[in-house]
Amino acid sequence: MKTSRMKTIAYWVTTLLGPASFVIGGFLFFTHGEQQVEVMTHLGYPTYLLTILGLWKLLGVIAIVIPRFPRIKEWAYAGFFFELTGAAASHAFSGDSLALIAQPVVFLALVIASWALRPPSRKLSSD
């Protein structure tokens, strides 16, 4: 019983620090925050991509946090995986510092932990 409780706590901690923290990033992307525009320009991406990624981040957070809909949760976790690995690769290919490359990797670790620790009610039945 205690192990189950600790796993649930670990799930919510990693979910709040990882996927749920995308609310802030999603909002700043969607509203074209100054720093986000600078980063996208530095990486060579069009700024309209901020709107698309911001909306997807916000929808992904909703999908992961609300109850039920395990298949949509899987897609949201996959989307976060692609976004974060793409961010790390983009910074690496642009010659950015190790700190800028590592930042999305840290969030990726939290997203993976959240996915791995999710309770049975948030998994596809075949998991």
Residue 121 lies in a domain: no
Instruction: Give the residue numbers spanning the domain of 22.
Output: 2-116
Residue 64 lies in a domain: yes
Residue 122 lies in a domain: no
Residue 90 lies in a domain: yes
Which residues make Cβ contacts (< 8 Å) with residue 50, sequence separation at least 6?
A: 29, 30, 32, 36, 37, 40
Number of neighbouring beta carbons within 10 Å of residue 66: 11
Whether this model's pTM surpasses 0.85: yes
Residue 125 lies in a domain: no
Residue 111 lies in a domain: yes
Please state the domain count of the chain: 1
Residue 29 lies in a domain: yes
Smallest Cα–Cα separation from 104: which of 83, 122, 124?
A: 83
pLDDT digits (tens, 9 = 90+) for 28-77: 999 999 999 999 999 999 999 999 999 999 999 999 999 889 999 999 99
- The pLDDT score that the predictor gives to residue 2 is 82
- The pLDDT score that the predictor gives to residue 126 is 57
